[in-house]
């Protein structure tokens, strides 16, 4: 028969194995419930998943129903469901995120990392109006009419 301490040891070793560092609280576990409440109350995110084999097989952590105001957040690696972002800075460097039924107000800034920016530039390369209206989100047009989308200088 397993004791509460044995379950906690097993839970911790599973958390270490999958790279999260902490698992959701066990039913009736007041100490874990308080730390989860602190996580939600602070507007913090769960730890970023490690790149291990097990994590690659698991879905990204879900953040449900939180309100963020004037926070700096990285979207990569998370699924946000029913969240609201007011006056925030959202950083994104890949397509490894989901926003489901979320609200992003007009005062929120979105900062695109180099990888994400290249995809936007490639998409916009097909639309002449983008070169006039979306400076910085279009490729460089060379003198010979070719385009360049690169992190390399020169």
- Examine the domain organization and report whether 71 and 123 are in the same domain: no
- Examine the domain organization and report whether 95 and 141 are in the same domain: no
Q: Which domain holds residue 16?
A: 1-58
- Give the C-alpha distances (Å, rounded to integers) separating 145 from 124, 125, 140, 142, 148: 15, 12, 10, 5, 10
How many domains does the chain fold into? 3
* pLDDT at residue 8, as a whole number: 47
**Separation of alpha carbons 24 and 2, rounded Å:** 19
Looking up tokens 């397993």, which residue turns up? 2
95, 76 contact by CB (below 8 A): no
- Examine the domain organization and report whether 19 and 5 are in the same domain: yes
pTM of this prediction exceeds 0.85: no
* pLDDT at residue 114, as a whole number: 87
Question: pLDDT-derived band of residue 101, with 50, 70 and 90 as boundaries?
Answer: very high
| pLDDT tens digit sequence for 49-83 | 555 566 555 678 999 999 999 999 999 999 999 99
Radius of gyration of the chain (CA): 21
Closest CA to 97 of 76, 66, 73: 76
- Examine the domain organization and report whether 52 and 68 are in the same domain: no
- Examine the domain organization and report whether 91 and 67 are in the same domain: yes
Q: By three-state DSSP, how is residue 148 classified?
A: strand
- Examine the domain organization and report whether 42 and 18 are in the same domain: yes
Q: Give every CB contact of residue 35 below 8 A, 6+ residues apart in sequence.
A: 22, 25
- Examine the domain organization and report whether 43 and 66 are in the same domain: no
Average pLDDT value over all residues in the chain: 75
> CA end-to-end span of the chain, whole Å?
68
| pLDDT tens digit sequence for 7-29 | 444 444 433 433 434 334 434 44
């Amino acid at each position: 028969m397993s004791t509460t301490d044995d379950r906690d040891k097993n839970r911790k070793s599973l958390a270490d194995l999958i790279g999260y560092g902490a698992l959701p609280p066990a039913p009736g576990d007041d100490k874990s419930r308080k730390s989860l409440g602190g996580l939600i109350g602070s507007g913090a995110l769960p730890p970023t998943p490690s790149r291990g084999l097990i994590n690659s097989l698991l879905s990204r952590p879900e953040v449900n129903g939180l309100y963020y105001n004037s926070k700096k957040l990285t979207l990569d690696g998370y699924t946000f469901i029913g969240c609201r972002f007011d006056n925030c800075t959202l950083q994104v460097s890949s397509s490894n995120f989901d926003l489901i039924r979320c609200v992003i107000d007009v005062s929120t800034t979105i900062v695109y990392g180099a990888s994400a920016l290249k995809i936007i530039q490639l998409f916009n390369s097909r639309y002449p109006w983008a070169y006039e209206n979306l400076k910085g989100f279009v490729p460089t047009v060379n003198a010979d009419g070719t385009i360049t989308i690169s992190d390399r200088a020169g």
